[in-house]
Amino acid sequence: MKAVIQRVTSASVTVEGSIVGQITQGVMILLGVEKGDAEPQADWLVEKIRGLRMFSDADGKMNLSVQDIGGALLVVSQFTLAGNCAKGRRPSFDTAAPADEGKRLYDYFVAAAKRTGLPVETGIFQADMQVAIVNDGPVTFILEK
């Protein structure tokens, strides 16, 4: 399971011209599910994201987590994170989880994130989404478990 996380001052997801998920200060999460992933990876990622000190304190040091600042999470499925670009010019998605398993684990991840008490917004699994973010910093991390 892979996640690209970005510290944002705002982020939104639009599907067919309508905003389906939107946050102000918090973390934008692009989540990719691969074959063999399971609930323990999702639980680990949620806890890592919830507690990761990626927000600045009064001294400008990254000492605060999204939970510390009262921020929110925006979770968007991104199967292309499983893409392998090592050979040729066309990415291979052989390691991506099948759609039904990807959706099941994406939904599990979202439910686990909601159990933290943080506000959680989402995109729509397998939809053609337009994602708008204002990356704060910019601060971006790639997490894999």
- For residue range 28-37, list pLDDT tens digits in order: 999 999 999 9
The tally of domains found in the chain comes to 1
This prediction has a pTM of 0.96
- pLDDT digits 0-9 by tens, 94-124: 999 999 999 999 999 999 999 999 999 999 9
80 is catalytic: yes
67 is catalytic: no
Residue 122 Cα distances to 9, 53, 109, angstroms? 16, 22, 11
Q: Which domain holds residue 14?
A: 2-144
Catalytic residue among 79, 116, 126, 130: 79
- pLDDT digits 0-9 by tens, 62-81: 999 999 999 999 999 999 99
Catalytic residue among 80, 93, 109, 122: 80
Which residues touch 39 (CB under 8 Å, ≥6 apart)? 105, 108
- Measured distance CA(49)–CA(75) in Å, rounded: 11
Catalytic residue among 6, 41, 55, 78: 78
14 is catalytic: no
CATH of the domain at 72: 3.50.80.10
Pinpoint the alpha helices (H) of the chain.
Answer: 39-51, 99-115
